[in-house]
Amino acid sequence: MGTQPDGTDYVWPSVKRYHPMRGAVVGTLGAYFNDAGVNLMHDEWFQPMAEETRGFLRLAREEAPDFIVSLHSHESSPSVEPTACIPRTVKETIRAFADRLYARYRVAGLPAREAGPAVQEDGAAFPPPSFNLASALHHTYGGTAFIHESTAGARYKSAPEVTHETNPGSTNGTVRRAPVIRDRATCTLGT
């Protein structure tokens, strides 16, 4: 997430306090951001600042997939995150997908949460959830977009290392999760 000018690490959620992350608040720019300090999860949706965001939205419009899953990393059991500011019916699709994905994780012997994200009204409590990239993707082309968080890409003492690699030759004790997500997505789409 980068560092402050005094070398202190930025941490979640205060790392989101400055956006774009530029100027005197930056020690080293972390991987949250593109080179211009824009966090692609929190671009300016009515006039995106980042060329990467514009390209992503353009690709979504052209391809119009049923599902877009954005793979993130966090220090906790894997989770399908709720997407805010979208129709309730799409929230229900995400919840149903997550329930089935977690069931599939259990079958595979992987850590799994009890249930997918609760379907609820946005902003009933403070702070309200953000209209983020997943929200913007839905409103760009109408599909179901959500974030999947796991420990992939980061190392924590509290959780096993996870990789999204697809090669079946992994022998170093890592957990391969992406194939399970794809398997579950394929079943959900009935193909």
In the complex, what is the shortest distance from the CB of residue 149 to Zn ion, in angstroms, rounded to a whole number?
A: 5
In the complex, what is the shortest distance from the CB of residue 22 to Zn ion, in angstroms, rounded to a whole number?
A: 21
Distance CA 37, CA 50 (A): 9
- Among positions 65-104, residues that touch Zn ion (CB under 5 A) are 72
Name the H helices within 16-67: 51-63
Amino acid at 100: R
Residue 139 binds to Zn ion (criterion: CB under 5 A): no
- Among positions 36-65, residues that touch Zn ion (CB under 5 A) are none
> Sheet holding 79-80: strands in order across?
67-73, 144-150, 79-80
In the complex, what is the shortest distance from the CB of residue 31 to Zn ion, in angstroms, rounded to a whole number?
A: 12
User: Considering beta carbons, is residue 40 or 142 the nearer one to Zn ion?
Assistant: 40
Tokens of 26: 């930056």
Residue 32, SS3? Answer: coil
In the complex, what is the shortest distance from the CB of residue 98 to Zn ion, in angstroms, rounded to a whole number?
A: 15
User: Considering beta carbons, is residue 15 or 57 the nearer one to Zn ion?
Assistant: 15
Count of alpha carbons within 13 angstroms of residue 90, beta-carbon side: 21
Using CB under 5 A as the binding criterion, the count of chain residues that bind Zn ion stands at 1
- Interface ranges with Zn ion (CB under 5 A): 72
